[in-house]
Amino acid sequence: MSERSRGRDWIGLVAAVVFVVVVIGVFSYLYRDHSTSPTTAAPGFNLVTKDSFNRASGPIAYGKNVAAWKSIRGSWSVAAGAAYVSEPAPLLNIAVVEASANASVKAVVSGLGYCGLVANLVNEGEYLSLVRVEKYGLWNLERRINGIPEVLAVVGGSSSTAMTASILVAPPIVTASVGEQHVSVSVSDLGSGRSAGLFASDPDPSNCAFDDVVISVPE
């Protein structure tokens, strides 16, 4: 083979490699998640605190410069970069961070059980919750008063075991989101709860895991 032929083959090979790299780059951009970072507050909300649980295993409130978690029901811990219920209480488990009025929350929620979030928590018996109710991805947006739940809306999600979910409270509007699915409802007599956080209930709350938590309040 002549030097000229080998040169043409080399140029052709380089051109082919460049083409493949460009195509991969284009497809990576097209299929990348361009949504808001999971550790930022939603538009119209101010960040209060965030927690990705990148610390040593132990109680959820343990560690330096971590969010001020409070276990309302059950014992909560951190392991392998996620929060979970380490010692379940009967029926349901809640861990929250106090913010200010109309506390809202966003987090990555994993597990096929009754895993979810709480927002606008006034006390143990009065709060909003967004909870996965079926393994196929249906979630209930609920309001509890005196411990009794009322379903406000149902949000379609995904069969994926890990979903970014949120409850945003901007009275009288409450917006629940799971992945790309959103639903908003109006609650005229909504209490002004100051805490938001994590929720897991029977039958197997220890199978729920949480990451990239963002606590915020409306601007």
What tens digit of pLDDT does each residue of 185-211 get?
Answer: 999 999 889 999 999 999 889 999 999
Mean pLDDT of the chain: 84
CATH topology of domain 45-218: Jelly Rolls (2.60.120)
The residues, ordered by sequence, that sit 6+ positions from 192 with a Cβ below 8 Å of its Cβ are 101, 102, 120, 122, 171
Bond before 203 cis per omega within 30 degrees = yes
- Residue 64, SS3 per DSSP: coil
pLDDT of residue 90: 95
Picking from 41, 24, 40, the residue whose alpha carbon sits closest to that of residue 32 is 24
Distance CA 36, CA 45 (A): 13
Note the pLDDT tens digit of each residue in 9-53.
Answer: 544 543 443 333 222 232 223 233 333 445 688 999 999 999 999
Picking from 92, 95, 96, the residue whose alpha carbon sits closest to that of residue 114 is 92
